[in-house]
Amino acid sequence: MKNWNDVLTYKNGNLYWRERTANCVQIGARAGSNAGRGYRHVKYKKQTHMEHRVVWEMHFGEIPNGLHIDHINRNRSDNRIENLRLATPYQNRQNAPSGKSAPTSEHKGVFWSTARGKWVAALSVRGKQKCLGGFDDEGDAALAYNSAAQSAWGEFAYLNEVRL
Protein backbone atom coordinates (compact mmCIF):
# COMPACT_ATOMS: atom_id res chain seq x y z
CA MET A 1 0.00 0.00 0.00
CA LYS A 2 1.25 3.42 -0.91
CA ASN A 3 1.78 5.92 1.91
CA TRP A 4 -1.52 7.84 2.21
CA ASN A 5 0.40 11.09 2.72
CA ASP A 6 1.87 10.71 -0.80
CA VAL A 7 -1.61 10.51 -2.33
CA LEU A 8 -3.80 12.67 -0.07
CA THR A 9 -3.64 15.86 1.97
CA TYR A 10 -5.53 16.15 5.26
CA LYS A 11 -7.16 19.43 6.31
CA ASN A 12 -9.73 19.84 9.12
CA GLY A 13 -11.10 16.30 8.80
CA ASN A 14 -11.30 16.32 5.01
CA LEU A 15 -9.05 14.64 2.48
CA TYR A 16 -7.89 16.18 -0.79
CA TRP A 17 -6.10 14.54 -3.73
CA ARG A 18 -2.36 15.27 -4.11
CA GLU A 19 -2.04 13.29 -7.31
CA ARG A 20 -4.30 12.06 -10.08
CA THR A 21 -5.16 8.47 -9.34
CA ALA A 22 -7.87 8.20 -12.01
CA ASN A 23 -9.17 10.22 -14.97
CA CYS A 24 -12.01 11.65 -12.88
CA VAL A 25 -9.68 12.77 -10.05
CA GLN A 26 -8.47 16.36 -9.98
CA ILE A 27 -5.52 17.45 -7.85
CA GLY A 28 -6.80 19.53 -4.93
CA ALA A 29 -10.36 18.17 -5.18
CA ARG A 30 -11.97 16.68 -2.10
CA ALA A 31 -11.45 12.95 -2.00
CA GLY A 32 -14.15 10.50 -1.15
CA SER A 33 -17.91 10.35 -1.16
CA ASN A 34 -20.78 9.38 1.09
CA ALA A 35 -20.72 5.70 1.94
CA GLY A 36 -24.12 5.52 3.61
CA ARG A 37 -25.10 5.47 7.30
CA GLY A 38 -23.20 8.75 7.75
CA TYR A 39 -19.75 7.44 6.80
CA ARG A 40 -17.49 8.60 3.96
CA HIS A 41 -15.16 6.46 1.90
CA VAL A 42 -12.26 6.96 -0.51
CA LYS A 43 -11.57 4.81 -3.57
CA TYR A 44 -7.94 4.16 -4.38
CA LYS A 45 -6.57 1.54 -6.78
CA LYS A 46 -10.02 -0.06 -7.17
CA GLN A 47 -10.38 -0.55 -3.42
CA THR A 48 -12.72 1.28 -1.07
CA HIS A 49 -11.32 2.59 2.21
CA MET A 50 -13.30 4.18 5.03
CA GLU A 51 -12.25 7.82 5.32
CA HIS A 52 -11.88 7.81 9.12
CA ARG A 53 -9.46 4.88 8.88
CA VAL A 54 -7.41 6.66 6.21
CA VAL A 55 -7.23 9.82 8.35
CA TRP A 56 -6.05 7.77 11.34
CA GLU A 57 -3.40 5.96 9.29
CA MET A 58 -2.13 9.26 7.83
CA HIS A 59 -1.45 10.51 11.37
CA PHE A 60 -0.49 7.41 13.32
CA GLY A 61 0.24 4.57 10.90
CA GLU A 62 -1.41 1.21 10.57
CA ILE A 63 -4.38 0.42 12.79
CA PRO A 64 -3.56 -2.52 15.07
CA ASN A 65 -5.44 -5.74 14.32
CA GLY A 66 -8.70 -6.06 16.19
CA LEU A 67 -9.10 -2.35 16.90
CA HIS A 68 -11.64 0.06 15.47
CA ILE A 69 -11.63 3.82 15.00
CA ASP A 70 -14.29 5.44 17.17
CA HIS A 71 -15.87 8.85 16.45
CA ILE A 72 -15.85 10.50 19.88
CA ASN A 73 -18.80 12.80 19.12
CA ARG A 74 -20.67 9.97 17.33
CA ASN A 75 -20.85 12.00 14.08
CA ARG A 76 -19.67 9.46 11.49
CA SER A 77 -18.76 12.12 8.92
CA ASP A 78 -16.66 14.18 11.37
CA ASN A 79 -13.21 12.82 10.59
CA ARG A 80 -11.12 15.47 12.33
CA ILE A 81 -8.20 13.68 13.96
CA GLU A 82 -9.15 15.09 17.39
CA ASN A 83 -12.54 13.36 17.03
CA LEU A 84 -11.02 9.92 16.35
CA ARG A 85 -9.62 7.39 18.79
CA LEU A 86 -8.65 3.73 18.88
CA ALA A 87 -11.22 1.47 20.48
CA THR A 88 -11.91 -2.19 20.90
CA PRO A 89 -15.11 -3.34 19.18
CA TYR A 90 -16.72 -3.50 22.64
CA GLN A 91 -15.70 0.08 23.49
CA ASN A 92 -16.88 1.27 20.09
CA ARG A 93 -20.36 -0.21 20.71
CA GLN A 94 -20.61 1.56 24.08
CA ASN A 95 -20.24 4.94 22.36
CA ALA A 96 -23.35 4.34 20.28
CA PRO A 97 -26.98 5.19 20.84
CA SER A 98 -29.41 2.44 21.69
CA GLY A 99 -29.86 -0.13 18.96
CA LYS A 100 -33.49 -0.75 19.87
CA SER A 101 -35.80 -0.37 16.89
CA ALA A 102 -38.80 0.76 18.94
CA PRO A 103 -37.58 2.22 22.23
CA THR A 104 -40.11 3.32 24.83
CA SER A 105 -37.72 6.03 25.99
CA GLU A 106 -35.61 8.59 24.18
CA HIS A 107 -32.77 7.65 26.54
CA LYS A 108 -30.33 4.80 26.16
CA GLY A 109 -30.68 2.15 28.87
CA VAL A 110 -34.17 3.28 29.91
CA PHE A 111 -37.53 1.64 29.25
CA TRP A 112 -41.08 1.76 30.58
CA SER A 113 -42.11 -1.26 32.65
CA THR A 114 -45.87 -1.75 32.54
CA ALA A 115 -45.61 -4.38 35.27
CA ARG A 116 -43.86 -1.96 37.64
CA GLY A 117 -45.56 1.19 36.43
CA LYS A 118 -42.13 2.85 36.42
CA TRP A 119 -39.22 3.78 34.21
CA VAL A 120 -36.46 1.20 34.55
CA ALA A 121 -32.77 1.81 34.00
CA ALA A 122 -30.59 -1.14 33.02
CA LEU A 123 -27.36 -1.90 31.24
CA SER A 124 -25.49 -4.93 30.02
CA VAL A 125 -21.82 -5.33 30.89
CA ARG A 126 -20.00 -8.14 29.13
CA GLY A 127 -23.27 -9.90 28.42
CA LYS A 128 -24.65 -9.65 31.95
CA GLN A 129 -27.80 -7.58 32.39
CA LYS A 130 -27.83 -5.29 35.42
CA CYS A 131 -31.06 -3.62 36.57
CA LEU A 132 -30.41 -0.22 38.13
CA GLY A 133 -33.89 0.22 39.56
CA GLY A 134 -37.32 1.64 38.86
CA PHE A 135 -37.94 5.39 38.73
CA ASP A 136 -41.03 7.59 38.67
CA ASP A 137 -39.22 10.07 36.41
CA GLU A 138 -37.68 9.10 33.06
CA GLY A 139 -34.88 11.65 33.54
CA ASP A 140 -33.91 10.11 36.90
CA ALA A 141 -33.68 6.70 35.22
CA ALA A 142 -31.47 8.20 32.49
CA LEU A 143 -29.18 9.76 35.11
CA ALA A 144 -28.89 6.39 36.88
CA TYR A 145 -27.92 4.79 33.55
CA ASN A 146 -25.36 7.57 32.91
CA SER A 147 -23.71 6.98 36.28
CA ALA A 148 -23.48 3.22 35.77
CA ALA A 149 -22.30 3.57 32.17
CA GLN A 150 -19.59 6.06 33.19
CA SER A 151 -18.36 3.60 35.84
CA ALA A 152 -18.43 0.66 33.42
CA TRP A 153 -16.98 2.26 30.28
CA GLY A 154 -15.38 5.57 31.25
CA GLU A 155 -14.72 7.86 28.29
CA PHE A 156 -16.41 5.41 25.89
CA ALA A 157 -19.78 5.60 27.65
CA TYR A 158 -22.67 7.00 25.63
CA LEU A 159 -24.28 9.40 28.08
CA ASN A 160 -27.86 10.53 27.79
CA GLU A 161 -28.62 14.23 27.59
CA VAL A 162 -31.06 14.92 30.39
CA ARG A 163 -32.97 18.15 30.72
CA LEU A 164 -33.61 18.99 34.35
* 96-153 residue pLDDT tens: 776 554 457 889 999 988 888 899 999 988 888 899 999 999 999 999 999 999 999 9
Chain centre to alpha carbon of residue 87? 10
* 26 in the same domain as 67: yes
- Higher local confidence (pLDDT), 2 or 129: 129
pLDDT of residue 68: 95
Looking at the structure, do residues 123 and 55 belong to the same domain, yes or no?
A: no
Residue range of the domain that includes 140: 98-156
- Among residues 32, 63, 87, the one where a domain terminates is 87
Cα–Cα distance between 73 and 76 in angstroms, integer?
8
Q: Considering its fold, how many domains does the chain have in total?
A: 2
pLDDT for the residue 2:
64
Same domain flag for 79 and 106 = no
Encode pLDDT of 15-29 as tens digits.
999 988 877 788 989
Residues 152 and 131 in one domain: yes
